Chain A
Amino acid sequence: MTANEWQIVWFTAWVSALSTLLILPFGLATAWLLARKDWPGKSICETLVALPLVMPPVATGLILLKLLGRRGPIGSFLHDTLGLDVVFTWRAVLIALGVMSFPLLVRSARVAFEEVNPRLEQIARTLGAGEWRVFLTITAPLAARGIAAGLLLAFARALGEFGATIMVAGNIPGQTSTLSLAIFQSVELGEDEHALGLLAVSTGLAFLAVWVSEYLFRHRRRA
């Protein structure tokens, strides 16, 4: 593997990890609200959260492009107020990976929260605990394995993301090129040896993430 290829592997790994960490608080909040509360618009929220799983990734990418481009509502705001450009930068990669892996985190965390016996949370309240303490000492620890499994699935999804990323971030070597994009480009250019090297790394990382995720999911604590 060349230095360039290692740079791609490194970039893909850290941007995937960072996007997974960034979606964690939002994912947990969404999952908890879906698992524990009834509120108007809940079914619409459920559908919106699941959309990136079923929509073509390039379509999601196009939506992001329209929102984050300089003429888009979010992109123009960021450009005008913070002088920040998003599309075709590493930030766009980060957002695309986060959006595409968000549903996987929410689904796993939601199941994990639903499996925590609500009676335990009720009893914690009778013992004087407030909502944050109930969440931090009862709900989250009992759902921890399911949440960790969801995080790893989200990370694995981010590692392999292609369609949304290429739409919103392009494939700029050294800036926005991820493993998937680099493999595609190598095949396009007939550089099969490079493609196979990157494929091996990509497969290894994804295998490890999914394997650990499955292990955690199978052995999650039942409350």
Chain B
Amino acid sequence: MTLKLQNISLPLADFALELDVECHQRVTGIFGPSGAGKTSLLELIAGLRQPVSARITLGTTVLTDTKAGTALPVRERRIAYVPQDLALFPHLPVRANVLYSRKSQLSPEPMFQFEHVVRLLEIEPLLDREIGRLSGGEKQRVALARAILSSPHLLLLDEPLSGLDARLKSQILPFLRRIKDEFPIPILYVTHHVDEASALCDEVLVLERGRMTRRGTPAEVFGPSESTAR
């Protein structure tokens, strides 16, 4: 499913996010330094920010078209967003967190079975736990499960490994690979780490001060030596 970002203009603190790009690959990395506008781009796609101008389509669905005055409500976009802080609901146990989307009025036929997702991300023993009693890595897996179980047409991952130490990163990375292999969901993966982008992404867009400066496969963008890390 192609994500088209056309005529994007979103003013940020020091510069404006200005893009015109199409993403065709399964996992597209948005790579760039902190403050380049990566998170703002994800929020724009999810409908959490209002652009000055933009036409955003996912497949045949128009998500935002400022010229036509169209903005699909956030709840109807079917775009799952895992932010950096994960935003797990602290007052609900793990099971209620991961099944939150299933009780929504708009919830479609589930694309993925609960048992399958829970098994794949190895969160079965955590289902009755409170969120506050989970480790950092466990929280990451719960947030990923919650996002996948919402049967999204697009998955936005905002630096999912950023808060983790090297040991935890190496534990979570295989789960992200499993998600890529098992679930046919297009993913936008924001990161500023070359190793993550090389390991997971089919294509990388480099974002600097709100503009795309390069794009290509990880090998093309980072050079062959870096991309061998995958």
Contacts and interface: CB of A to CB of B under 8 A. Distances in A.
Interface of A: 117, 119-120, 122-130, 133, 137-138, 141-142, 221, 223
Given A119-B85, A122-B74, A128 B90 contact: no
B146 interface: yes
Given A122-B48, A127-B146, A142 B79 contact: no
Interface of B: 46-48, 73-81, 83, 85, 87, 89-92, 100-101, 103-107, 146, 150
B104 A129 contact: yes
B100 A124 contact: yes
8 contacts: A117-B87, A124-B89, A126-B46, A126-B74, A128-B104, A133-B105, A137-B100, A223-B90
A129 to B, nearest CB: 5
Given A122-B48, A129-B75, A223-B91, 20 more contacts: A119-B83, A123-B83, A124-B100, A126-B46, A126-B47, A126-B48, A126-B74, A126-B77, A126-B79, A126-B81, A126-B150, A127-B146, A129-B100, A129-B101, A129-B104, A133-B104, A137-B92, A138-B89, A141-B91, A221-B90
Contacts of A128: 75-76, 78, 101, 104-107, 150
B87 A123 contact: yes
Nearest to B84: A119
Contacts of B89: 120, 124, 137-138
User: Nearest 6 pairs between A and B by C-beta?
Assistant: A128-B104, A127-B101, A125-B74, A123-B87, A128-B106, A119-B87
Contacts of B100: 124, 127, 129, 137
